[in-house]
Structure 1
């Protein structure tokens, strides 16, 4: 397997995006802090560890780092249950450590995007601790309370279930009322019909923007509001989740997700943040089909700057089959739904989803091609840590499970721990992640860490790591790739996905071959080819008898004549 990076054929370096829209040309790198780098030998990654690896990240060629939560938390859901929005959990270090990370990242031209959980707090947050003390406490109405059904209120207010597969209501003993939680009972939902909640949460953004944070990833942003009448959700026959509808665990989540009130709050948040610093990014974790994702941008583009689109990820029952025409159909739908100046955002994996190579049976060539597509589409790609190496899901023994989903549904293979294992830096027993005994790591290392790691792949010309670094370098230098338009190109060969990226008179042809055998594309169906800029996986594409021949699972980028 080989690929080439023909630096001599590159067009002049593309100008940077305007400061107010830096994310349009950026590639974000998602770090799960527990698993990236341990600096103090306790077996858990931390902020100083991330700072120590900034040179690697800068040389890889990414533009910004999204950090999963580092705030104080009891960690029932590993930081997505926040007890203090203004601090740093001692597990990860100190506020000074985070400020140092921000400063050192900025010194290397890297942006910092913090995860922000607006939907719920920890049950140990002072607001909730005050709320459970009685109906008249100042923060009681910071949360969603309802009287129960049944003769004595002993039944939950409706049939809603959580994303963790439990009923979405827990009864509080003192008052007998029920509080709502879209996730676990340790994560009570905030009540955004109370203006004081919105004001309190907006102040959190003030704090972190003042610290120099460049953006926020807004966790489960679609869950902020509920139907005010709290009716039962309709039942359905679909159990597993889908990225193309809002049905899972045998309910259609019609009344507890994606309410119109949420968009109005997002618009107010956008105005608030832009009043502080117009360069700050708001990136939303949005669930649903592309049309639902589109709504979060706002009718006038005054909502989120970016919203995740997961419909190309191969993780749910709606997964895109590994076929060129399936990808073309979904890309067409997204492009129609999000026309310029709206800007898509793609992630093929993250801390909640299976790693790319494991989505496809461990097939390295398929993983490489999918990364090729991810990094050449119009939009902002988000690369999960370790994907540049081809890190795989790890089957974590039951005794070492950390994820509440994995514990609840054992032995079903639903634990998110599988894709959260420590970063693989080198061939040492601890893989360079930590000096602690690997048996003390918060999650076990992958058994293939000695074979799949940064040091080893830096020494291999055909490694996945070098592939990613070369493609990221090309993307950064080619304005058509980092910021241009996209036009799908229909081909008679159903195994090849083709599209043209254009910026003014600068055009690039992208070809992605999803087949397992060498194939050919008729030159008469393609624009006039000028130069081959990049190819992956094997011998370079070449012309034979009026056809362009592509190798198995091969990606190629050509400059083309106007």
Structure 2
């Protein structure tokens, strides 16, 4: 009996030791847009088996986890964000068995799988919605239904709310004789989170995927989940420069950022924590997408989010931002992160122009370099590690509903197609993405020279820079080092991390003139070494530099380290 007790205790301790509660604190999360990552069957659309076949690349660049944009069963009105079954895979992407193989392969490579969770709405093809139309209980109140208003005998929507995809957020259903709310496409009816049954359904969805080995969720459009219970009209934004049916023509005080959202997130956090405790697995990651004010975004930390997406490099920074602008943005975020939580830095995603297009080809590595050196989690969009660029689309080529609904004169302001083109693996047919010459979105014409295979063979490339950055991010000085953000000569942004005798400094020249910076009085070693430099800077790794005259070429970023870090890393 004593021996059995000792053995039981030993197994418990061994299992407990296998759990890593801090796995995410210095992580790189790599977003995969499944339709555009890798096509395994030649239909021109990416799929799960294609992703599985390329997971070695995800591991090779040093990602800790990858987040999959939606792969659920869907009529693809919004390319997967309109879900007709939250617990099944769309045949376009594969099967549940394919998903299980993907998870198993990821685990064998030390990668965690993060699913996209889309709670705000379902597809109009979902059985819940079809039953709700017929007022079949309990589904009759699963969605947001309202009676029409009648003005001079003419039927009108209940209020002035607008869809993110333009036009009224209300759609008339002739069977039910009511309007339903859709904050996105008409094929994406909003779920009613004031209904406890809906909240329970979505908990069951989360549990289903956790039971299949998922390590967390990126929660889509979380701040749209609740609406004003009185359904009041939203005020005008007083924007004469945009059409009255444009989403930005109103101030969205009644359809976004309601306090109830944070309360629901807390229940999901508890659900995931309980699941981790019950299964003795690492903590589940929650990434929340909310294009909201700084204060409302940070508030998600204390409601259970691991990563309330910090979009400042997408929404606030731009190519004309000064070094002082960058310092202000970084300082503001670091001061706002609650004690015990970790910062995060989003380089790019599937909804915004690529970093190489936002900041220019010559600055493609700049934001990644900053994100990797700053404390916390870096979120990278597939293709940014090789400097992929937006492809320009005509209106006739546009398939994104956000662009199509905006019309020929404004489609380019809304369309997300430019950043969603297929991944450029090599210079063969369709950039190695597919064996089919015709792909769901056209491949960028620059794939012959801008592709992963070509960059792997080059001495210095975006890919090589990215690998160097991930390697340095694993160093203790980045995990635990002191952070200092400074500006020199109004042009040079300097971000330093120091731990004992180890020093890492990234310097970004925001001007079009080269600069020499003297930091010899900053308690750093007298001699540093170039660890990485942005493409086109004319500096190469291994170059020695005196701290009294650090050269930063124009419009470039350079990562310097103390010699002991450089040599120890390159010996490994």
TM score, norm. by length of structure 1: 0.89
SS for the counterpart of 1:234 is coil
State the alpha-carbon separation in 1 of the partners of residues 480 and 116 from structure 2. Answer: 25
Aligned ranges 1:74-223 → 2 under 5 Å: 74-134=75-135, 137-151=137-151, 154-223=155-224
**Which range moved further: 324-333 or 231-240?**
231-240
State the alpha-carbon separation in 1 of the partners of residues 514 and 285 from structure 2. Answer: 42
Q: Which position in structure 2 is the counterpart of 1:557?
A: 560
Instruction: After TM superposition, give the deviation of residue 333 of structure 1 in Å.
Output: 1.1
Cα root mean square deviation, aligned: 2.5
SS for the counterpart of 2:386 is coil
State the alpha-carbon separation in 1 of the partners of residues 493 and 338 from structure 2. Answer: 20
State the alpha-carbon separation in 2 of the partners of residues 545 and 352 from structure 1. Answer: 41
State the alpha-carbon separation in 2 of the partners of residues 236 and 254 from structure 1. Answer: 11
SS for the counterpart of 2:66 is strand
Do the aligned partners of residues 405 and 545 (structure 1) sit closer, same or farther apart at CA in structure 2, a change above 3 Å counting? closer
State the alpha-carbon separation in 1 of the partners of residues 254 and 323 from structure 2. Answer: 36
State the alpha-carbon separation in 2 of the partners of residues 483 and 44 from structure 1. Answer: 42
Q: Which position in structure 2 is the counterpart of 1:342?
A: 341
Q: Which position in structure 1 is the counterpart of 2:280?
A: none
Q: Which position in structure 2 is the counterpart of 1:528?
A: 524
Q: Deviations over 1:54-93 (max 9, x none)?
A: 1122111111111100000000000000000111011001
Instruction: After TM superposition, give the deviation of residue 463 of structure 1 in Å.
Output: 0.8
State the alpha-carbon separation in 1 of the partners of residues 239 and 445 from structure 2. Answer: 35
State the alpha-carbon separation in 1 of the partners of residues 241 and 382 from structure 2. Answer: 26
Instruction: After TM superposition, give the deviation of residue 509 of structure 1 in Å.
Output: 3.0
State the alpha-carbon separation in 2 of the partners of residues 303 and 311 from structure 1. Answer: 21
State the alpha-carbon separation in 2 of the partners of residues 398 and 189 from structure 1. Answer: 28
The answer as to 2:283 corresponding to 1:284 is no
Instruction: Give the conservation status (yes or no) of the 8 Å contact 1:454–1:465.
Output: yes
Instruction: Give the conservation status (yes or no) of the 8 Å contact 1:25–1:483.
Output: no
Q: Which position in structure 2 is the counterpart of 1:295?
A: 299
Instruction: After TM superposition, give the deviation of residue 474 of structure 1 in Å.
Output: 1.7
Q: Which position in structure 2 is the counterpart of 1:467?
A: 465
Instruction: After TM superposition, give the deviation of residue 409 of structure 1 in Å.
Output: 2.2
Q: Which position in structure 1 is the counterpart of 2:14?
A: none
What count of residue pairs does the alignment treat as equivalent?
529
Instruction: After TM superposition, give the deviation of residue 180 of structure 1 in Å.
Output: 0.9
Do the aligned partners of residues 196 and 560 (structure 1) sit closer, same or farther apart at CA in structure 2, a change above 3 Å counting? farther
Q: Which position in structure 2 is the counterpart of 1:249?
A: 248
SS for the counterpart of 2:551 is strand
State the alpha-carbon separation in 1 of the partners of residues 337 and 490 from structure 2. Answer: 25
State the alpha-carbon separation in 1 of the partners of residues 469 and 330 from structure 2. Answer: 21
Instruction: After TM superposition, give the deviation of residue 292 of structure 1 in Å.
Output: 1.2
The answer as to 2:444 corresponding to 1:446 is yes
Q: Which position in structure 1 is the counterpart of 2:363?
A: 366
Instruction: Give the conservation status (yes or no) of the 8 Å contact 1:72–1:82.
Output: yes
Do the aligned partners of residues 187 and 321 (structure 1) sit closer, same or farther apart at CA in structure 2, a change above 3 Å counting? same
The answer as to 2:500 corresponding to 1:519 is no
Superposition misfits of 4+ residues, deviation over 6 angstroms? none
State the alpha-carbon separation in 2 of the partners of residues 153 and 137 from structure 1. Answer: 31
Do the aligned partners of residues 496 and 60 (structure 1) sit closer, same or farther apart at CA in structure 2, a change above 3 Å counting? same
Do the aligned partners of residues 523 and 218 (structure 1) sit closer, same or farther apart at CA in structure 2, a change above 3 Å counting? same
**Which range moved further: 366-375 or 397-406?**
397-406
Of the candidates 487, 495, 498, which is equivalent to residue 499 of structure 1?
495
Instruction: After TM superposition, give the deviation of residue 504 of structure 1 in Å.
Output: 7.5
Do the aligned partners of residues 71 and 538 (structure 1) sit closer, same or farther apart at CA in structure 2, a change above 3 Å counting? same
The answer as to 2:398 corresponding to 1:425 is no
**Which range moved further: 372-381 or 444-453?**
372-381
Q: Which position in structure 1 is the counterpart of 2:403?
A: 406
State the alpha-carbon separation in 1 of the partners of residues 300 and 500 from structure 2. Answer: 29
Q: Which position in structure 2 is the counterpart of 1:386?
A: 383
Instruction: Give the conservation status (yes or no) of the 8 Å contact 1:239–1:248.
Output: no
Instruction: Give the conservation status (yes or no) of the 8 Å contact 1:320–1:326.
Output: no
Instruction: After TM superposition, give the deviation of residue 404 of structure 1 in Å.
Output: 0.7
SS for the counterpart of 1:22 is coil
Q: Deviations over 1:245-266 (max 9, x none)?
A: xx96121111111111000110
**Which range moved further: 213-222 or 533-542?**
533-542
Aligned ranges 1:48-59 → 2 under 5 Å: 48-59=49-60
Instruction: After TM superposition, give the deviation of residue 479 of structure 1 in Å.
Output: 2.2
Q: Which position in structure 2 is the counterpart of 1:229?
A: 230
Instruction: After TM superposition, give the deviation of residue 290 of structure 1 in Å.
Output: 1.9
Instruction: After TM superposition, give the deviation of residue 370 of structure 1 in Å.
Output: 1.9
Instruction: After TM superposition, give the deviation of residue 117 of structure 1 in Å.
Output: 0.1
Do the aligned partners of residues 560 and 156 (structure 1) sit closer, same or farther apart at CA in structure 2, a change above 3 Å counting? farther
The answer as to 2:19 corresponding to 1:22 is no
State the alpha-carbon separation in 2 of the partners of residues 205 and 525 from structure 1. Answer: 53
State the alpha-carbon separation in 1 of the partners of residues 500 and 385 from structure 2. Answer: 31
Q: Deviations over 1:253-304 (max 9, x none)?
A: 1111111100011011101111011521111001112211111112xxx421
Q: Which position in structure 1 is the counterpart of 2:4?
A: none
State the alpha-carbon separation in 2 of the partners of residues 446 and 340 from structure 1. Answer: 44
Instruction: Give the conservation status (yes or no) of the 8 Å contact 2:313–2:367.
Output: no
Do the aligned partners of residues 545 and 376 (structure 1) sit closer, same or farther apart at CA in structure 2, a change above 3 Å counting? closer
Do the aligned partners of residues 31 and 475 (structure 1) sit closer, same or farther apart at CA in structure 2, a change above 3 Å counting? same
Instruction: After TM superposition, give the deviation of residue 126 of structure 1 in Å.
Output: 0.5
SS for the counterpart of 2:22 is helix
Higher helix share: 2
Instruction: After TM superposition, give the deviation of residue 472 of structure 1 in Å.
Output: 0.9
- Structure exhibiting the larger radius of gyration computed from Cα positions: 2
Q: Which position in structure 2 is the counterpart of 1:6?
A: none
Q: Which position in structure 2 is the counterpart of 1:11?
A: none
Instruction: Give the conservation status (yes or no) of the 8 Å contact 2:528–2:545.
Output: no
Do the aligned partners of residues 21 and 407 (structure 1) sit closer, same or farther apart at CA in structure 2, a change above 3 Å counting? same
Structure 2: gaps (5+ residues): 1-16, 278-282, 565-572
Instruction: Give the conservation status (yes or no) of the 8 Å contact 2:530–2:545.
Output: no
Instruction: After TM superposition, give the deviation of residue 547 of structure 1 in Å.
Output: 3.0
State the alpha-carbon separation in 2 of the partners of residues 555 and 20 from structure 1. Answer: 33
The answer as to 2:454 corresponding to 1:456 is yes
Instruction: After TM superposition, give the deviation of residue 533 of structure 1 in Å.
Output: 5.8
Instruction: After TM superposition, give the deviation of residue 480 of structure 1 in Å.
Output: 2.6
State the alpha-carbon separation in 1 of the partners of residues 175 and 36 from structure 2. Answer: 40
